[in-house]
């Protein structure tokens, strides 16, 4: 019995011993396979993960390229700045550190709020460098640096701050930069983008990739706690390229001041009487902070707003592009105060709008050369064709008035342009029809975008029959042709288009297009294909506007034998004048509310003998083209040709 049970037991135990051994072998086999899988099969994957742990890459921002004017004057550059950064991890008592720092230096309250938000948003609790402030002065740095033992958690870093030495003078052209946001480019940028600043408007935006350069990378070996134990350059930083543009900042500055003054006089703001009045005046971005303008009736007025462009008629280079009021792009380099931004955005004079390229205005009489050319090219009239102006033109039940109430009498084309007779152009318009006028306008550069290096969002409007049918589903009426013939009605142009039109007329051979670049290839121009004789004739009549006895701008000759300008004035009615008002007699322009005053325009070129530069001036609600815009053009040309 005992033997039997002994045998049974031994049998069972051997069996169980065997089963346990199989179990053990199975477990050890599984472990062995696991190690084979991890270390041999998936080795690559884990090696990469290990590297990701061991190393982290820091982007090193390149220095942004500069923007220079045609004489190498700096429009946009970089200034050294100092940032204060906290090497944050979970164990740091942030309040304590900040208080200690605040005992030594002052930190902008807004920066602190941003800093605390950043800490709160860092929910993962991973160690991270968090910016405390970017606006550290050299003095602050040295104050902190000598006590650096007390602040082991903070580091300084050199940053580059974008500066625009020309400030408000070229704000619309340079544009400004700001932190990258996903809106800025559809392609996903995979690296830490907090360093990246991209151009938001102007040249900064259009040349962003050129200016930006290439980010370098620094490879840091970091511990699990985020301490950097070694660091090396992994990829070199490539600085952005400088760009040189066609603006002449000397001319630009002169032009802005001259433009904003208009026909008003400068008075010092320190004057007691003036001070009182300023308090009531609009809050606007004055170029000149010490002076203010006073009109002929001694009223405090804002600077003129509008646009002034000077363009080289040979190569299309833009020497000067004023859009007033402007803004100082430097304000975007610091953290923008919300009030400043709101003032810019909501200001009734729209300082953010680049009027030169994006503002649209009815061209008024400045369009008459195009109408005349359309008529000459179509062969409907010749140089001597005459019409009679008695002050108005009846068409159906409507009356279309000439600016001269009593009429100009019988005159030919050259006289009609010289005196800007509206009735003559009503007759021309009726004879040639809107479609032919529209073709000529387009040939001269109106109603189209240009391939200019900066956003020019406005196309303007060159109406024709098809356009109206498409837009309103209505037939074109003859009255609308009459309005278009004197640059009113549907017709809308940008100042850039007007200066391009003059450049093409004065150039005579090529369809010049504007550019902000220096020495751009001129072969981009297509031939103009307008009879040179006709163009010569139109230029003669533009000379008469300034130099003729009856010219609308005869008071504003440059007065030099070699250098004289030619041009055309324009006064654009902003408010419709009813018959009743006309009967009562018109209220003088300067007595109307600003918004109801006429726009004053002048387009022209100089010198007459060998045309070189074209100009277009739009003074918003400035009054008459001959008395307000023409003198500005004269002074700008005087400045350019030093007479």
Partner 1 sequence: MSYKSNKFADKSLNFIFLSKLLKLNWIIILCVILLGLVGVASLYSAAGGYWDPWAKNHLIRLIFGIFLMLILAFLPHTIFFKLSVASFIIGILTLILVKFIGTGNVQRWLNLGGINFQPSEFMKLALILTLARYFDYISRIQLNRLISYVFPVFLIILPGFLVISQPDLGTGLTIIILGLAILFFVGISMKFVILSLILFASSVPFIWNKLYDYQKDRILVFLNPEIDSLGSGYQIIQSKIAIGSGGFFGKGYLLGSQSRLNYLPEKHTDFIFTLISEELGFLGSISIILVFCILIISIMKISLELNSLFCKIVTLGIGFLLFLYLSLNIGMVCGLLPVVGAPLPLISYGGTSLLTVLIGVGMVLSINVHDKEV
Comparison of 47 and 579: residue with beta carbon closer to partner 1: 47
Report the residue from 22, 47, 145, 232 that binds partner 1 according to the rule CB under 8 A. 47
3-state percent breakdown (helix, strand, coil) of the chain, nearest 5 = 45, 20, 35
CB 198 within 8 A of CB 212: yes
The DSSP bridge partners found for residue 613 are: 312, 606
CB 238 within 8 A of CB 216: yes
Nearest approach, Cβ of 52 to partner 1 (angstroms)?
A: 9
Nearest to 159 by CA among 189, 186, 129, 185: 129
Nearest approach, Cβ of 32 to partner 1 (angstroms)?
A: 7
C-alpha dihedral (167, 170, 171, 176), degrees to nearest 10: -90
Nearest approach, Cβ of 30 to partner 1 (angstroms)?
A: 7
Comparison of 39 and 342: residue with beta carbon closer to partner 1: 39
Contact segment (CB under 8 A) with partner 1 among 34-42, 240-248, 363-371, 459-467 equals 34-42
Report the residue from 22, 36, 214, 471 that binds partner 1 according to the rule CB under 8 A. 36
Report the residue from 31, 79, 102, 146 that binds partner 1 according to the rule CB under 8 A. 31
- Asked if 179 is part of the footprint of partner 1 (rule: CB under 8 A), the reply reads no
Cα–Cα dist 446/627, whole Å: 25
Cα 613–619–621 angle (5° rounding)? 160
Report the residue from 50, 194, 342, 522 that binds partner 1 according to the rule CB under 8 A. 50
Report the residue from 60, 61, 130, 222 that binds partner 1 according to the rule CB under 8 A. 222
Nearest approach, Cβ of 225 to partner 1 (angstroms)?
A: 7
Comparison of 55 and 116: residue with beta carbon closer to partner 1: 55
Report the residue from 22, 46, 117, 146 that binds partner 1 according to the rule CB under 8 A. 46
Report the residue from 91, 95, 109, 125 that binds partner 1 according to the rule CB under 8 A. 125
Q: Taking the alpha carbons of 357, 361, 366, 372 in that order, is the dihedral positive or negative? A: positive
Comparison of 53 and 194: residue with beta carbon closer to partner 1: 53
Cα–Cα dist 25/31, whole Å: 10
- Asked if 30 is part of the footprint of partner 1 (rule: CB under 8 A), the reply reads yes
Cα–Cα dist 56/319, whole Å: 48
Cα–Cα dist 159/161, whole Å: 6
Report the residue from 102, 126, 233, 575 that binds partner 1 according to the rule CB under 8 A. 126
- Asked if 522 is part of the footprint of partner 1 (rule: CB under 8 A), the reply reads no
- Asked if 228 is part of the footprint of partner 1 (rule: CB under 8 A), the reply reads no
Report the residue from 28, 79, 336, 577 that binds partner 1 according to the rule CB under 8 A. 28
Comparison of 55 and 641: residue with beta carbon closer to partner 1: 55
- Asked if 345 is part of the footprint of partner 1 (rule: CB under 8 A), the reply reads no
- Asked if 22 is part of the footprint of partner 1 (rule: CB under 8 A), the reply reads no
- Asked if 577 is part of the footprint of partner 1 (rule: CB under 8 A), the reply reads no
Measured N-to-C along each axis, helices 434-443 and 465-472 cross at an angle, to the nearest 10 degrees, of: 100
Nearest to 588 by CA among 555, 624, 632, 630: 624
Report the residue from 22, 39, 71, 147 that binds partner 1 according to the rule CB under 8 A. 39
- Asked if 561 is part of the footprint of partner 1 (rule: CB under 8 A), the reply reads no
Please report which residue ranges of 122-265 form alpha helices under DSSP H: 138-146, 171-174, 202-206, 208-212, 249-261
Report the residue from 103, 224, 270, 283 that binds partner 1 according to the rule CB under 8 A. 224
Please report which residue ranges of 37-170 form alpha helices under DSSP H: 43-54, 94-104, 109-121, 138-146
Q: Which helix (H) or strand (E) is 438 found in, with range? A: helix 434-443
Report the residue from 20, 102, 145, 577 that binds partner 1 according to the rule CB under 8 A. 20
Comparison of 185 and 232: residue with beta carbon closer to partner 1: 232
Of 53-82, binders to partner 1 (CB under 8 A) are 53-54
Contact segment (CB under 8 A) with partner 1 among 223-231, 388-396, 512-520, 594-602 equals 223-231
Cα–Cα dist 20/15, whole Å: 9
Cα–Cα dist 61/293, whole Å: 45
Q: How many chain residues interact with partner 1 (CB under 8 A)?
A: 43
> How many other C-beta atoms can be found within 10 angstroms of the C-beta atom of residue 368?
28
Nearest approach, Cβ of 55 to partner 1 (angstroms)?
A: 9
Residue 599 has φ and ψ, to the nearest 5°, of -80, 140
Comparison of 54 and 536: residue with beta carbon closer to partner 1: 54
- Asked if 121 is part of the footprint of partner 1 (rule: CB under 8 A), the reply reads no
Q: How far is the CA of 194 from the CAs of 157, 189, 197, 218, 304, in angstroms?
A: 14, 11, 8, 16, 40
- Asked if 232 is part of the footprint of partner 1 (rule: CB under 8 A), the reply reads no
CB 568 within 8 A of CB 602: yes
Nearest approach, Cβ of 119 to partner 1 (angstroms)?
A: 17
DSSP code at position 149: G
Of 127-166, binders to partner 1 (CB under 8 A) are none
Interface residues toward partner 1, by CB under 8 A: 1-2, 5-6, 8-9, 12-13, 16-17, 19-21, 24, 27-28, 30-32, 34-36, 38-40, 42-43, 45-47, 49-50, 53-54, 124-126, 221-225, 229
């Amino acid at each position: 019995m005992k033997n039997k049970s002994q045998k049974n037991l031994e049998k069972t135990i051997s069996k169980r011993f065997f089963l346990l051994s199989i179990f053990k072998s199975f477990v050890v086999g599984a472990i062995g396979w696991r190690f084979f899988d991890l270390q041999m099969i998936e080795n690559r994957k884990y090696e990469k993960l290990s590297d990701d742990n061991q190393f982290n890459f820091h982007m090193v921002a390149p220095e942004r390229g500069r923007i220079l004017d045609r004489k190498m004057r700096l429009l946009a550059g970089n200034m050294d700045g100092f940032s204060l950064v906290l090497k944050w991890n979970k164990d740091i008592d942030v309040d304590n550190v900040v208080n200690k720092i605040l005992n030594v230096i002052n930190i902008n309250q807004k920066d602190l709020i941003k800093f605390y938000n950043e800490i709160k948003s860092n929910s993962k609790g991973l160690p991270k460098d968090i910016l405390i402030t970017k606006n550290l002065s050299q003095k602050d740095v040295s104050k902190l640096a000598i006590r650096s033992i007390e602040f082991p958690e903070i580091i300084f870093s050199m940053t580059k701050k974008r500066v625009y030495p020309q400030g408000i003078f070229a704000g619309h052209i340079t544009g400004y930069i700001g932190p990258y946001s996903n809106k800025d480019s559809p392609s996903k940028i995979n690296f830490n983008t907090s360093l990246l600043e991209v151009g938001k408007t102007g040249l900064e935006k259009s040349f962003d990739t050129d200016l930006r350069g290439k980010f370098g990378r620094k490879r840091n070996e970091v511990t699990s706690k985020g301490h950097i134990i070694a660091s090396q350059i992994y990829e070199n930083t490539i600085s952005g390229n400088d760009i040189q543009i066609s603006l002449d900042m000397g001319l630009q500055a002169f032009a802005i001041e001259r433009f904003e003054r208009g026909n008003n006089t400068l008075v010092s703001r320190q004057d007691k009487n003036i001070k009182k009045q300023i308090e009531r005046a609009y809050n606007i971005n004055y170029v000149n902070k010490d002076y203010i303008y006073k009109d002929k009736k001694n009223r405090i007025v804002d600077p003129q707003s509008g646009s002034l462009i000077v363009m080289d008629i040979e190569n299309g280079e833009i020497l000067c592009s004023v859009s007033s009021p402007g803004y100082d792009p430097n304000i975007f380099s610091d953290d923008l105060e919300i009030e400043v931004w709101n003032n810019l955005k909501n200001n009734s004079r729209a300082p953010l709008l680049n009027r030169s390229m994006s503002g649209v205005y009815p061209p008024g009489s400045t369009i008459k050369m195009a109408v005349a050319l359309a008529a000459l090219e179509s062969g409907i009239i010749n140089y001597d064709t005459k019409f009679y102006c008695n002050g108005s033109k009846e068409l159906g039940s409507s009356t279309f008035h000439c600016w001269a109430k009593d009429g100009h009498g019988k005159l030919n084309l050259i006289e009609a342009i010289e005196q800007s007779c509206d009735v003559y152009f009503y007759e021309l318009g009726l004879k040639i029809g809107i479609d032919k006028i529209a073709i000529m306008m387009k040939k001269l550069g109106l109603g189209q975008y240009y391939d200019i290096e900066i956003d020019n969002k406005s196309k303007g409007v060159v109406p024709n029959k098809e356009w109206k049918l498409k837009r309103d589903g209505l037939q074109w009426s003859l009255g609308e042709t009459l309005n278009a013939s004197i640059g009113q009605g549907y017709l809308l142009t940008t100042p850039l288009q007007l200066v391009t039109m003059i450049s093409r007329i004065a150039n005579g051979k090529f369809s010049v297009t504007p550019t902000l670049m220096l020495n751009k290839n001129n072969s981009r121009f297509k031939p103009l294909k307008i009879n040179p004789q006709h163009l010569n004739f139109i230029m003669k009549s533009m000379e008469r506007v300034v130099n003729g006895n009856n010219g609308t701008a005869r008071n504003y000759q440059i007065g030099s034998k070699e250098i004289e300008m030619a041009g055309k004035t324009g006064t654009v009615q902003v408010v419709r004048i009813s018959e009743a008002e006309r009967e009562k007699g018109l209220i003088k322009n300067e007595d109307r509310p600003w918004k109801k005053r006429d726009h004053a325009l002048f387009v022209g070129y100089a010198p007459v003998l060998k045309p070189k530069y074209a100009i277009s001036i739009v003074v918003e609600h400035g009054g008459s083209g001959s008395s307000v815009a023409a003198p500005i053009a004269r002074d700008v040309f005087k400045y350019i040709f030093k007479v």
